[in-house]
Structure 1
Amino acid sequence: MADSREPPPLFNDDKEDDNDDLFSSAVQSPVSEQTTTPEDQRSPEDPLTPPPPAASLTPEPHNPGTPPDLFESVAEGPVAVQGGSPKLSSVPLDLPAGGDGGEGKQQEVSLEEEGDEPDIFDTMSSPKLQLNQDTSEPPVPPSSILPPMGAPLTPPVVPITPTATPSLTPNITPAAPTPVTPVAVARSSPEQAEGDGGDEFIQITVSDPQKIGDGMSSYMAYKVTTKTNVSYFRKKHWSVMRRFSDFLGLHRKLVEKHLHSGRVIPPAPEKSAIGTTKIKLGSDKNADSGSLDFIERRRAALERYMNRTSTHPTLRADPDFREFVELDAELPRATQTSALSSAGVLRLLNRVGETVNKMTFKMDESDQWFEERTQQIESLDAQLRKLHASMERLVNYRRELALSTAAFAKATAVLSSVEEHSSLSRALHQLSESTERTQTIHHAQADADFYVLSENTKDYIQLISAVKDVFHERVKTFQTWQHAQITLAKKREAKAKAELAGRMDKVQQAQEEVTEWEGKVERSQEEFERISRAIKKEMEQFDVMRVKDFRDMVIKYLEDLMTSQQQIIKVWETFIPEAKAIS
């Protein structure tokens, strides 16, 4: 240790408590990291820096057994304030001879945070520094070191905000965090979305079937009402009149334009020659229940067909579809829609030919996705057909139950009329009326089962057939590609033979044919890849729509079933007092 004159102590304390607050003094500064001369460290404007000592500074010897301290500084000498902010470090200091540790004992002061200890100055905190104190000299009065009360400290001491780990970088004040204001997301109701045009929707209703004309030249017309917020439609709500052949003509146009592109076209209702003939020959006044049931069944099928077609973004934007729903005039007569016409016979023959082609040609599938989806479609078709058969039996059972209930009601009514006992006769009459009400409920439930379960399942069987048609269209595109490749190979072979034979007049023609078929092969390959991508996208939409439709179908069926059961319970609860009143 150098025998230089020690700087005066800042505080007249013989001992320092180890548990004192490390940030208890607002005027003390940490030891400089650099070993510089006191003249370089002292600022002439700094009232806190005492005069430099005469002796030179001698660093403490380093102990080889301990790791070097990166922030090690001299234990003696004045304290320098660099940059206006304190630096935190651990300083090895010598305790005085009369201290607790004995002669020449060093004590390492670690500058850590202790937020629980009181500060001397409430306005700020600074690291505490313990220096070697010489008790032989009298302490310097604080008035000669500290500025007058109320005067600003120079240089200004930057307050240190206690954190988990003290920052060792000088002159860095952490930026204040930017306050985050929570934003409330406004959720619009379906009515607001409909009015503002947020989500596009289109809803089509087919209603009011009317018979126009007499005899075999008559036809059925339906009122098609459209409600939408799609921008390319001229109105938001309107109605037009369309005949059944117009629906079939629309479907034929959509198939011709979009099937080869890989689009799944929802199938239109089938045309029944027997049902149509009965309607044409019958009169509106004497229409039997079978004709009315046929008309209602067709109306519901047309409505489902139009809504499924309108949900497809490509199909509803088609000019023919827009003309069908928007044109408030009679459409041109759709031709080739009759089941018994020559066009109908040609369509039947084409279907037979495509069926034979499906059975004879087997495509070597290279895409595993199409192989798996083909098997899934076949399995789904088989299971839906079984489900539809069981639903048909359920509908027939409920209708038979309604008929049997009606017969039971008539029998009890006759019995009540011949019964002589007054209370029993009254109870039998009440039983007959209650049974008639339950017969009406059973009949309504049978209709609900038919239109909610059976008809929707039948529509999906036909929709699966449309999906198969799309898959077969891809197979036909593959056949075209393969045919182009085979023809190209033959053209190249013919060119090679002409070159070997030296017939140069044939070589030029063969080269042109080779170039032409190379273009056809390239276009066929691009078409095959394009239709494959389109089918994958269509199947994604088909799966989403199928899940939604079956979910809605099951929910609607259960709601109708629960409603009918509650109505039956109320009927019999009303009859129980009459039965108990029999005496």
Structure 2
Amino acid sequence: MAEDGKSSPPLFGDDDEDVAQSPEPEESVPIDTDTQKEEKGLFDDDDDAENGETKRDDTPPEKEPETTQAPLSSVSDEPKVSAGDDDSTAEADEPAKDEDEDDLDDEYTIEVSVSDPQKVGDGMNAYMTYQVKTQTNMPQFKSHKLAVRRRFSDFLALHAKLAEKPAYLGRIIPPAPEKSVLGMTKVKFSKEESSGSTDFIGKRKAILQRFLTRLSKHPVLRKDEDFQEFLEKTDDLPKAKGTSALSGAGFMRLVKNVGDAVSKMTSKMEESDSWFEEKQQQLDALDGHLKKLITGIDSLVTHRRDLSSATEAFGKTAALLGTVEEHEPLARAMSQLAEIEGKIDSLHQEQASKDFFIFGELIREYIGLIGGIKICFNQRVKLFHAWQSAQATLLKKRESETKMKATGKTEKLPDLEREIKDWEDKVDKGQKEFDDISKRIKDEVTRFESTRVKEFKSSLINYLETLMLTQRQLISHWESFLPEAKAIV
């Protein structure tokens, strides 16, 4: 997320300059090498401070197998089945909850806070650490109250571990916190806590807090062993490798490419589950409107900051005029006006910051979450194609078996029958994986929509309250100046 209060700051590096290149993680689903080369370009802007690159198994390929037909009826005596034509999706559109999930309002809770940022080292070797405090009654934790210190790269490493796990296919992984070479450069070389570095650290702390909070509220991800280790291991975590995070512009390009790839792949897939078609259209529309909204918010923030600068300049001019004015009541009024303008300048700055934090960062986070949903849709399409490929191979094996029996050449028949049995198992496994991820995605999207409404309502109310408070303060300042103006005679 943008952290310097600008629309799309050039974020492309961070505090882990000595991170080594990490080996590519083993992928649960094959990805075209052309796609890997293309995506490497998305990270090029972010590697000035690191040598490693974030790898994610679920990155969408540009090319997909041409096998797009639904399961062939000749494979077995069962009716033709296409994407979504299973018992779990052919009935109601309401998603079924996975058996391994708990409701968010069950008896177990976990509250995580990020605080006390500290600078370690000086110069280019400097980095920030944050205190992560946890209160929980979950039985797998060794204590109900925990406190550890983590550096920024530890947060990125946690995200990478979660994103790489095959068990989380179809899960919406919260977007990783962004890096900012500009912000961290100010922190690394500032001898004292300047306003710029303090503002950057405060924004980053809030982003890290949101990341951990979203993980802690997910009924499955909060039980992850790596998440637990992150929260309770008092020693330093193993050196993070390959934790290069996307800048704001890089992340937006990735989300766009994911969306385009999903659209292309879905068009090749015979989709008979109307739920997925409708959600794909809804998410595309929501994504587009949120991006327009963030553009408007960035413009508003820029406008308020320009107004703040103009107010400051006007106040200084009024102060200078008061020093040379010979008429004492008028000089006193001009001096007071300058003082009031200084207070109003501060109000404009504070409101610009609230515009950015309360609404802007929430919108950016949800654009990232929508990108995560599109990745889940992409994972489902890839599993569908893998299932279809297994169906096609099984059909060929059975055709070979029929020909072998017809010609009487049965010496290789036992081996072929074993192969057919293996491919039947693969087909059954492929269908189960496809059915499972379909149900899982429905549950994740339902949770996403419910949470989105609650969070947008809360942020909207909070934002309106800050606007009202700012206006009341403005009126109070002008009312305090009015008697001084009327005293001019």
> TM-score range, shorter-chain basis?
0.7 to 0.9
Distance 1:350 1:543 in 2: 22
**Secondary structure at the residue paired with 1:313?**
coil
- Work out whether 1:253 is the aligned partner of 2:161: yes
Q: Structure 1 counterpart of 2:454, which letter? A: K
Specify the alignment match of 1:397 in structure 2.
303
Specify the alignment match of 1:284 in structure 2.
191
Contact 2:351–2:470 (8 Å) recurs in 1: yes
CA positional deviation for 1:576:
0.7
When you count helix as a share of all residues, which structure comes out higher?
2
- Work out whether 1:358 is the aligned partner of 2:262: yes
TM-score, normalised to structure 2's length? 0.73
C-alpha distance 354-402 of structure 1, shift in aligned 2 (>3 A): closer
- Work out whether 1:301 is the aligned partner of 2:232: no
CA positional deviation for 1:473:
0.9
Q: Any residues of structure 2 matched to 1:115-194 within 5 Å, and which?
A: none
Specify the alignment match of 1:115 in structure 2.
none
**Secondary structure at the residue paired with 2:220?**
helix
- Work out whether 1:469 is the aligned partner of 2:375: yes
CA positional deviation for 1:534:
1.0
- Work out whether 1:326 is the aligned partner of 2:232: yes
Contact 1:416–1:426 (8 Å) recurs in 2: yes
C-alpha distance 479-449 of structure 1, shift in aligned 2 (>3 A): same
**Secondary structure at the residue paired with 1:441?**
helix
Contact 1:223–1:240 (8 Å) recurs in 2: yes
Distance 1:354 1:270 in 2: 18
Contact 2:156–2:245 (8 Å) recurs in 1: no
TM-score, normalised to structure 1's length? 0.61
**Secondary structure at the residue paired with 2:239?**
coil
Specify the alignment match of 1:511 in structure 2.
417
C-alpha distance 429-350 of structure 1, shift in aligned 2 (>3 A): closer
Stretches of structure 2 that go unaligned for 5 or more consecutive residues are 1-104
CA positional deviation for 1:297:
2.1
How many residue pairs get aligned? The number is: 380
Highest relative contact order (Cα 8 Å, sep 6+), 1 or 2? 2
Contact 1:273–1:339 (8 Å) recurs in 2: no
CA positional deviation for 1:506:
2.3
- Work out whether 1:428 is the aligned partner of 2:337: no
Contact 1:225–1:240 (8 Å) recurs in 2: yes
Distance 2:398 2:198 in 1: 66
Deviates more, 1:230-239 or 1:220-229: 230-239
C-alpha distance 356-429 of structure 1, shift in aligned 2 (>3 A): closer
RMSD: 2.6
Deviates more, 1:235-244 or 1:370-379: 235-244
Contact 1:275–1:294 (8 Å) recurs in 2: yes
Distance 1:264 1:348 in 2: 17
Give CA deviations for 1:136-163 in whole Å, capped at 9, x if unaligned: xxxxxxxxxxxxxxxxxxxxxxxxxxxx
CA positional deviation for 1:332:
1.0
Specify the alignment match of 2:174 in structure 1.
266
CA positional deviation for 1:498:
2.5
C-alpha distance 323-542 of structure 1, shift in aligned 2 (>3 A): same
**Secondary structure at the residue paired with 2:112?**
strand
Contact 1:227–1:236 (8 Å) recurs in 2: yes
CA positional deviation for 1:443:
0.8
Distance 1:530 1:303 in 2: 31
Distance 2:269 2:168 in 1: 18
Give CA deviations for 1:443-479 in whole Å, capped at 9, x if unaligned: 1111111100101110110011011111111111111
CA positional deviation for 1:288:
5.1
Aligned pair partner of 1:226 in 125, 130, 134: 134
Q: From the CA coordinates, give the structure whose radius of gyration is larger.
A: 1
CA positional deviation for 1:339:
5.5
CA positional deviation for 1:230:
3.7
Contact 1:477–1:528 (8 Å) recurs in 2: yes
Q: Structure 1 counterpart of 2:472, which letter? A: Q
Specify the alignment match of 2:486 in structure 1.
580
Contact 1:309–1:316 (8 Å) recurs in 2: yes
Aligned pair partner of 2:241 in 335, 339, 342: 335
CA positional deviation for 1:500:
3.0
Q: Structure 2 counterpart of 1:358, which letter? A: V
Specify the alignment match of 1:187 in structure 2.
none
Contact 1:423–1:582 (8 Å) recurs in 2: yes
CA positional deviation for 1:291:
3.6
Contact 2:162–2:168 (8 Å) recurs in 1: no
Aligned pair partner of 2:117 in 194, 205, 209: 209
Aligned pair partner of 2:355 in 444, 449, 452: 449
Contact 1:259–1:265 (8 Å) recurs in 2: no
Contact 2:259–2:374 (8 Å) recurs in 1: no
Distance 2:486 2:255 in 1: 66
C-alpha distance 356-432 of structure 1, shift in aligned 2 (>3 A): closer
Aligned pair partner of 1:553 in 456, 459, 463: 459
C-alpha distance 276-258 of structure 1, shift in aligned 2 (>3 A): farther
Distance 1:349 1:384 in 2: 15
C-alpha distance 391-336 of structure 1, shift in aligned 2 (>3 A): same
In percent, how many aligned pairs have the same letter? 47
CA positional deviation for 1:284:
3.3
CA positional deviation for 1:199:
5.1
C-alpha distance 478-230 of structure 1, shift in aligned 2 (>3 A): same
**Secondary structure at the residue paired with 2:165?**
helix
Specify the alignment match of 2:149 in structure 1.
241
CA positional deviation for 1:292:
3.5
C-alpha distance 531-517 of structure 1, shift in aligned 2 (>3 A): same
CA positional deviation for 1:497:
2.6
- Work out whether 1:387 is the aligned partner of 2:293: yes
- Work out whether 1:489 is the aligned partner of 2:395: yes
Distance 1:349 1:549 in 2: 25
C-alpha distance 354-577 of structure 1, shift in aligned 2 (>3 A): closer
Q: Structure 2 counterpart of 1:283, which letter? A: S
C-alpha distance 240-554 of structure 1, shift in aligned 2 (>3 A): same
- Work out whether 1:417 is the aligned partner of 2:323: yes
C-alpha distance 348-540 of structure 1, shift in aligned 2 (>3 A): closer
Give CA deviations for 1:42-80 in whole Å, capped at 9, x if unaligned: xxxxxxxxxxxxxxxxxxxxxxxxxxxxxxxxxxxxxxx
CA positional deviation for 1:271:
2.3
Contact 2:117–2:131 (8 Å) recurs in 1: yes
Distance 1:355 1:373 in 2: 13
CA positional deviation for 1:208:
2.1
Distance 2:166 2:412 in 1: 41
CA positional deviation for 1:201:
3.4
Distance 1:354 1:558 in 2: 34
CA positional deviation for 1:200:
4.0
C-alpha distance 436-479 of structure 1, shift in aligned 2 (>3 A): same
Contact 2:177–2:211 (8 Å) recurs in 1: yes
